[in-house]
Every structure is written in C-alpha cells, then in structure tokens.
A and B are shown apart, each in its own frame.
Chain A
Amino acid sequence: SAVISQKPSRDICQRGTSLTIQCQVDSQVTMMFWYRQQPGQSLTLIATANQGSEATYESGFVIDKFPISRPNLTFSTLTVSNMSPEDSSIYLCSAAGPQGNYGYTFGSGTRLTVV
C-alpha cells in the first residue's frame, strides 16, 4: 500500500490566520481524502480531493473555509482558513488506489491548535 508523508506534524496558530497542510504519497493514487478528528471524537470526512478539478465537500464543510488542491496523483494540500479555536483538531490525509475496497492509507496527521 502507499506511504503518505504529511506535514507539518503539529502547529500552534493565531486565530484569524491560515495554515496549509501538505500530503505527499509515494505512488500514484486514485483517491485522496481529508479528514478531521476533533478532540475525543471520531474521524469526519471533510472532502475528497479530485485531481484536476474542484474538491467534493461533505455536508458542513465549504471551500472557502477548507480550500483543497490536488495538482497531480501524488500530492494534495488542505488549507484551514481564518482559523478559530474551534478548528483545533487533528487533520488527516488519506489515499486509496483504484479499488478502494482494499482499504485506505493514512498520513500521520497534523495536530492543529488555534489560540
């Protein structure tokens, strides 16, 4: 399965600023996803990063707040914009090959704290 490098691993940011998280996969993958894990809660899908087109967002998540790029089949970024303390979470990148039913690989996560 693919290996994902995600950075930064953690950051402390001031409210009102933005942070961009990068996700690099060591091989070409069909699908890439971004998840959020709020303290004490499970993983929630933010969006599917589509190569060459706009990301597909889940209910409750919008492009203005979480712009996503995916310029090729191995790289994606998630930006958390205009941050508030409620955005403090772990953000995870995930990837899968052509047949998602063999499971997904996850990055090590970015622990974001907004002060």
Chain B
Amino acid sequence: AQRVTQPEKLLSVFKGAPVELKCNYSYSGSPELFWYVQYSRQRLQLLLRHISRESIKGFTADLNKGETSFHLKKPFAQEEDSAMYYCALMTGGGNKLTFGTGTQLKVEL
C-alpha cells in the first residue's frame, strides 16, 4: 500500500536560513508527488508538483526515486513561509491523494 512519511511535526528556522521539509514515500508504481500548503486561517492549496519542475515562492522539490524522497527546499526562509506543509502522493490512476501527516514550519525573526 502507498504511504507518505513526513518525519518532522514541527520545523523551526530563523528568517534567512535554509529550509528543508522532508518527505519520503512508499509506492510500487510510478509516483506523482505534490506539496500542499495551508497558511493560517486559509484553505489547503497546491504549492508545487514534481512533474512541472517549477519553483513557487522560492520553493523547489526534486523527486529522487532511488531514495523515494521528495523533499521541499528553500534557500532563504521568509516569515510569510510559516504554515503547515503536506506532502501528497497520487495513485489509483490519478484518483487518489495520500497525504503525509504534515510539517508545521515556523520561521522566527
């Protein structure tokens, strides 16, 4: 069965420091991976997806099939990055999203 693991419940960094939110997955098929973000009092929204190889708000994520990882990175954290981040794996032919437990990122001044 598919599984997404985010080992850190809370990650606290200082403004300007690099950020890495870890995500590992378990899936026998070809993975489609996403990062979702939920800012305070806002709805869950898509941050980025691995197939587009894009950088959104300075964040990037590379799919590493050898390590089954999809870590989210940003070189310099900003205060507005403070939010809950969820890694998600799509399976079932594009029908199902399996979410990790989420990492709360707190950027301190």
Contacts and interface: CB of A to CB of B under 8 A. Distances in A.
Interface stretch (A12-20, A63-71, A80-88, A95-103): A95-103
Given A107-B43, A108-B43, A101 B90 contact: yes
Contacts of A106: 43-45
A44 B43 CA distance: 16
Given A48-B95, A103-B34, A42 B100 contact: yes
A103 B44 CA distance: 12
Interface residues of A, number: 23
A109 B99 contact: no
Contacts, number: 47
A100 B98 CA distance: 13
A115 interface: no
B97 to A, nearest CB: 6
Contacts of B45: 105-106
B46 interface: yes
B46 A41 contact: no
Contacts of A44: 99
B34 A31 contact: no
B102 A100 contact: no
A94 B34 CA distance: 15
Contact of B44 (A1, A31, A92): A92
B93 to A, nearest CB: 8
A45 interface: yes
Interface in B35-50: 43-46, 49
Given A42-B86, A45-B97, A101 B49 contact: yes
A107 B97 CA distance: 15
Given A42-B102, A92-B44, A104 B49 contact: no
A41 B100 CA distance: 9
A100 B46 contact: no
Interface of B: 32, 34, 43-46, 49, 51, 86, 90, 94-102
